[in-house]
Structure 1
Amino acid sequence: MTDPLDRIAAALERLSPPPPAAADPLAHPAYLWRGRALEPARAFRPLSLDALHGIDRQKAALLANVHRLAAGHAAHDVLLWGARGTGKSASVTSAVAAVQAGYGQTGGGDLALVEVVTARLDTLPALFAVLAGVRRAFAVFVDDLGLESAADGRALRSMLEGGAEARPANARLFVTSNRRHVVARDMAGQAGAGTEGAINPRDTADDELALADRFGLSLGFHAVDQADYLAIVRGYADARGLLLDEADALGWATRRGGRSGRVAWQYVVELAGRAGLEV
């Protein structure tokens, strides 16, 4: 008789969906990586870079680096860190789309975005193996990364720099995080306490900072003050022919619990909705 465990395993195998067919890495502007194969992004329509207000310095540095990557020149891995809603993720996708469209240069770059599901960072070596043989540049995008311990980031550190299996020359990592150093740091650890058993607390601190240090380009995105918030709202509203009521815009931010580029955009969506317009 067949072993019951074998029968159960066979039944589960029949019920499980087949692995997705790998997408052509030269055919699409953006992909998703869920750990097994490249999947084409269903809709890749980022905001124009010009539509992102209040972060001109960050946009310029990021765009220059993405241009270099697309041209096959030396380019950095990038960490975009800072307050939530300040344009970190939008900057990455918008910069890639801008380079694809030839923004700021005579021709578009042969470049694609690959967004990696954060829970599958352990499969990055498999992704890099897929990308290494492709005659195209790839911005590998990890959104909203936050690690609870330095140990969680050690595999990623080795792929960025210094490991035997680093990412290929045609791929660079673009990581966003609300934390400046990606890894959570408590006050006790920063003071040298809370590291029971550590002979040298400085070693523990260095271990926590080692991941962030491996990004050649680190861009900070900060919370905006009232004047900057209103300027961002005004830029979005003017571009769409919407009338701005500053008191209403400030009230919207108060109800949302803070001022940011994301809150400004959400307010303009609200204005457009009230006017019966699309955005």
Structure 2
Amino acid sequence: MPEGQQTETSIALAGLLEVAGHLERLVSRGEKIMEQLFPQAPDLAITFAEYWAFRWERKGVSGYLVPVEHPHLVQMDDLVGIDHIRDELVRNTEQFVAGYPANNVLLWGERGNGKSSCVKALLKMFGPRGLRFIEVQRWDLLSLPAILKGLRGQDYSFILFCDDLSFGEGEDYRGLKTLLDGGLEERPENVLIYATSNRRHLLPEPMSDNIGGGEIHPEEAVSEKLALSDRFGLTLGISTFDQETFLSIVEKYARSLNLPVPFEELRREAIRWALHGGRRSGRGARQFIDDLAGRLRVRIR
């Protein structure tokens, strides 16, 4: 081969090798990006057998389930003043776990009155029978199709738990609405949503809604906002605790810890606590007992 031709061939070959190197680096970078966007899911059947509770962890445009190794297992009998709520929630969940029709649930009411604890207590009751919890944050509701895909066909009953659920003006709630109401894809029979909220209606209702706000048919806009809550088949409200209910919760906690405090003194201290910054709620009662136990040097296990 003439010397000039050899030089041209060498240059062309060097160019091809350089292009190949660039392509290899691009492919490697692309694989890393794909791993970030679509992480590999674990063997869910094995994971669900080992753990009772999970949380959805978003990563890129997808996500994955993270086992909760030490879930907060609440004793249902410890919840005082909400007997009707407890009974309805247990009845609905019993139907669900047994394979019978059951409803999505919205628990609403004053903060600190046991909404979340009531739902968490179900895990201790029904976990041994195949109930599994998956905690999903409000901003991850758009991932519901991906979550449902992983749960469909599993030999367990799943509750998607949305704690403190509400939407601000302009926030997208359509993923939840579609799941509750049904879209083109049928919701798996082994999945329900249990949500808690401080508000009866999950979407904001500005005063402008009551006077039209520029809408030609304002009643339709208001109806749309109210309709999201209506899509929960079972809506349970917890009202503000009166003083006697608050004190009965305090007394139950005190007895369980064997606190060395006379009955009347305990009541007086609890009322004083509620008046000076505390709240007449289950959470307020727990905080008072924690404070009192600390002052009495009683350890809480």
Q: Where on the TM-score scale, by shorter chain, does this alignment land: which range?
A: 0.7 to 0.9
Which residue in 2 is equivalent to 1:214? 231
What's the counterpart of residue 269 of structure 1?
A: 290
Which moves more between the two structures, 41-50 or 269-278? 269-278
Q: Deviations over 1:201-257 (max 9, x none)?
A: 110111101110100000101211222111111111112212352221122223334
Instruction: Indicate the structure with greater helix content.
Output: 2
1:20 Cα deviation from its structure 2 partner: 7.0
Which of 1 and 2 has higher RCO (CA within 8 Å, sep 6+)? 1
User: CA deviation digits over 1:71-121, x for unaligned, max 9?
Assistant: 111010000111111111111010222123xxxxxxx42211111122211
Retained in 1: the 8 A contact 2:51–2:69? no
After TM superposition, give the deviation of residue 265 of structure 1 in Å: 1.1
Give the Cα separation in 2 of the matches to 1:250 and 1:165: 53
Structure 1 segment 64-103 matched on structure 2, within 5 A: 64-100=91-127
Whether the 8 Å CA contact 1:150–1:207 is kept in 2: the answer is no
Q: Larger C-alpha radius of gyration, 1 or 2?
A: 2
1:52 to 1:157, Cα distance in 2 relative to 1, 3 A: same
Residue 32 of structure 1 aligns to which amino acid in structure 2?
R
Contact 2:144 2:175 in 1 (8 A): no
CA contact (8 A) 2:246 2:282 kept: yes
Q: What corresponds to 1:231 in structure 2?
A: 248
Equivalent residue number for residue 105 of structure 1? none
Mean CA deviation greater in 26-35 or 201-210: 26-35
Task: Give aligned pairs, total.
Answer: 268
- State the distance in 1 between where 2:119 and 2:237 align: 13
The alignment's C-alpha RMSD in Å is 2.8
Shift of 1:21: 5.0
Q: Are residues 187 and 47 of structure 1, via their aligned partners in 2, closer, same or farther at CA, if it must alter by over 3 Å?
A: same
Which segments of 5 or more consecutive residues in structure 2 lack a partner in the other structure?
1-17
Unaligned runs of 5+ in 1: 101-107
Comparing 255-264 with 200-209, greater Cα deviation is found at 255-264
Q: Rate the CA distance shift 1:20–1:228 in 2: closer, same or farther, 3 A.
A: farther
Please state if 1:201 is matched with 2:222: no
State, as a whole percentage, how many aligned pairs show the same letter. 35
Which residue does 1:152 correspond to in 2? 172
- Normalization by structure 1: what TM-score? 0.86
Please tell me the residue identity of whatever aligns with 2:134.
Answer: V
CA distance in 2: counterparts of 1:247 and 1:204, whole angstroms: 49
Q: Give 1:62's aligned residue.
A: 89
**Partner secondary structure for residue 37 of structure 1:** strand
Cα gap change, 1:18 to 1:256, in 2 (>3 Å):
farther
Normalising by the residue count of structure 2, what TM-score does the alignment of the two structures yield?
Answer: 0.80
Q: Which whole-Å CA distance do the structure 1 matches of 2:85 and 2:104 have between them?
A: 14
8 Å contact kept, 1:223–1:260: yes
**CA shift in 2, pair 1:17/1:255, >3 Å:** farther
